[in-house]
Amino acid sequence: MASDRDPLVKPGKITALKQQVRNSARTSVFIDGEFAFGVHADLAVREGLYIGQQLRESDLQTLLCSEKILRGRSAALRYLSYAPRTEHQVRQRLTRKGLTKDELNDIIADLYELGYIDDRRYAVEYAEARFKNKGYGPGRIRRELTEDGVSSDYVSEAVAAAASTDMYSMSARKIAEKFRDRVEGTLPERKKKLADYLIRRGYGYTLSKEIALEVLSQR
């Protein structure tokens, strides 16, 4: 991630601290009469920056590291404001920000502490929504949660919490009955098409074949 600091600027004395015109939440730091870098105003206050302060290389590195973490945290919060996310999704998003592993871990730990990331809750809510709103079976729900980076334990717990085995079977049957009149061909062909449709929606191979035959036999 690129910082506001000019790589040619060397440590020295702070000669000015100015509120940025385009972003009043940021402060421009001038060293020895030249713009050096910009930081969030809260960080400038927290670190006690003042005109006349002598900044060493270690001071600059500490400030810029803190600035990167602050920016990364802000980016994560914006990302999370649109929809719940898993730790894996947030990590992927923040990887583009040029954060080190330690910086990224610090941000993730803070987000867990604040309750903005909770993979277990995410998995349960996701599974319930996919089953109730989309009629997806356990296989598809499991696959999607795994792709989102949820641990296998949380995935299994969420799939079980979303619906019982009987409820999944009932859902598969309703879907098959609704889709039945859209499949054409001979009985074996229709059975295969209907079973494949259920499988794509996340229902097991054996269950899908049984329900497909049962539903087609009703007519």
One-letter amino acid at 44 equals A
Give the C-alpha distances (Å, rounded to integers) separating 189 from 19, 174, 198, 200. 71, 20, 14, 17
| Tens digits of pLDDT across the chain (219 residues) | 344 444 555 789 999 999 988 888 889 999 999 888 888 888 889 888 999 999 998 888 888 888 888 889 999 999 999 999 999 999 999 988 888 888 999 999 999 999 999 999 999 999 999 999 999 999 999 999 999 999 999 999 999 999 999 999 999 999 999 999 898 999 999 999 999 999 999 999 999 999 999 999 875
The C-alpha atoms of residue 181 and residue 167 are separated, in whole angstroms, by 23
Query: Residue 16 in contact with residue 51, Cβ under 8 Å?
Result: yes
Residue 124's H or E segment, with its range, is helix 119-129
Q: Report which secondary-structure segment, H or E, holds 215.
A: helix 205-217
